[in-house]
Amino acid sequence: MEFNIRQLEIADYENILVKWWKDWNWQAPEIDFLPEDGAGGMMILEGDIPICAGFIYMTNSKVAWVDWIISNKEYKDKTKRKKALLMLIDVLTLSCQKSGAKYAYALLKHTGLQKHYKQLGYKQGDKYNQEMIKIL
């Protein structure tokens, strides 16, 4: 099994990602809430079939935020989807490290994703209870 990795493109937001978030009953973030207006991340594909995508926020500290991981619910091979998600998180994390970050941070609600992150060496921080956002 071989996956392809590519940088996200701004068009992926409308053409792919919004549908994925809707399929999983998650609220899609606004495009300008995402790094580089939706292009600040990676996508994993099998051939030309998109499987999953995620984002990296670089900060003004040694912390990079790896988040907004989402997958194609219509991609039915759950074993391959899990491998693709693990590859995605790993690639995003390595990209953070190469960019000079000392810490990779994630804010997760989904227990399946939490298991993937833990499998890749992430440690649980404080319990996450409520997300707060203010539009300025």
Q: Which position has the higher pLDDT, 83 or 110? A: 83
**How far apart, in Å, are the Cα atoms of 41 and each of 62, 128, 129, 130?**
18, 23, 26, 25
Cα angle value 47/28/55 (rounded, 5°) = 55
Q: What confidence score (pLDDT) does residue 132 get?
A: 65
Considering the entire predicted model, what is its pTM? 0.88
Burial class (CB in 10 A: 0-12, 13-18, 19+), 86: middle
Q: What confidence score (pLDDT) does residue 108 get?
A: 80
Q: Which helix (H) or strand (E) holds 93?
A: helix 78-98
Is residue 106 predicted with pLDDT exceeding 70? yes
pLDDT digits (tens, 9 = 90+) for 8-66: 999 999 999 999 999 999 999 999 999 999 999 999 999 999 999 999 999 999 999 99
pLDDT digits (tens, 9 = 90+) for 115-126: 888 888 888 887
Q: What confidence score (pLDDT) does residue 120 get?
A: 87
Is residue 86 predicted with pLDDT exceeding 90? yes
Is residue 92 predicted with pLDDT exceeding 90? yes
- Give the position of tokens 């580089």: 36
64-76 average pLDDT score? 95
